[in-house]
Structure 1
């Protein structure tokens, strides 16, 4: 499928915030259960990923201001985007992912190839 299957809002959001399916799944999990505080351990158990990976994804999403965390031991996280635009984008992304999962996955996996091409293009000799 082409990028045309995804709205411009969803494409922009994915380009800005999501670089892996795992990060997307973490974000959508916390969005779907907003009345719960999550730890890296509980996210790992729910998504069947390693705790270290869950912790890294939670930290990335917090740095992107899509989650908030409270310091403590263990640190807990909640879905709470800093902007209304991000809230709308995540809602549209969630709907799109449920309806056109393959299109979203294809878009995410196509991104690294674009970065590698851009890096390789930097070494082209120009006249």
Structure 2
């Protein structure tokens, strides 16, 4: 175990695929209940989040290679990682999250700040350029 008591495999998986607790919860729900295909509305109801947010998380996880769209409906998803290593990492993450929830949450919240700051800075710079370029600046 390394930083915050998380294995390097779990840290790598979180860094690659998970940027919010909400996305983690969606992933773990689908991983735990592979017997059904999940729609955004079903995920939203189960996790008490908005349907739009659930749809966004499902799409992000699909893009990340962790979910497949189910053949039954284009808007239904199943946990089905493209890489076997991701399946093993997700299993380890689920076990770790059950045992060390605070450590996992802390790790997720500690890492995206640089990206968020970079995004915010880019947005501010873009706004400044737009203001200068339209004569209102």
**CA gap 1:89/1:102 in 2 versus in 1, 3 angstroms:** same
Query: Shift of residue 67 of structure 1?
Result: 0.4
State the partner residue of 1:82: 82
CA gap 1:52/1:71 in 2 versus in 1, 3 angstroms: farther
Distance 1:68 1:74 in 2: 10
Partner of 1:25: 25
5+ residue gaps, structure 1, are 120-127
Deviation at 1:113, TM superposition (A): 2.5
75 and 101 in structure 1: CA distance in 2 versus 1, 3 angstrom threshold: same
Offset of 1:116 from its aligned partner? 5.5
Residue 111 of structure 1 deviates from its aligned partner by 0.9
- CA drift of 1:114 comes to 3.6
Is the alpha carbon distance of 1:49 and 1:37 closer, same or farther for their aligned partners in structure 2, counting shifts above 3 Å?
same
- C-alpha displacement of 1:118: 7.2
In structure 2, the residue matched to 1:105 is 105
Asked whether the 8 Å contact 1:23–1:57 carries over to 2, the reply is yes
Gaps of 5+ in 2: 120-137
- The answer to whether the 8 A contact 2:4-2:103 is kept is no
Between the aligned partners of 1:116 and 1:34, the Cα distance in structure 2 is: 33
Q: TM-score, normalised by structure 1?
A: 0.86
Contact 1:39/1:74 (8 A) holds in 2: no
Which structure has the larger Rg over C-alpha atoms?
2
* Residues matched between the structures, number: 118
> CA, structure 1 residues 37+111, in 2 after alignment: closer, same or farther (shift >3 Å)?
same
Larger relative contact order (CA 8 Å, sep ≥ 6) = 1
Higher mean Cα deviation, 16-25 or 106-115? 106-115
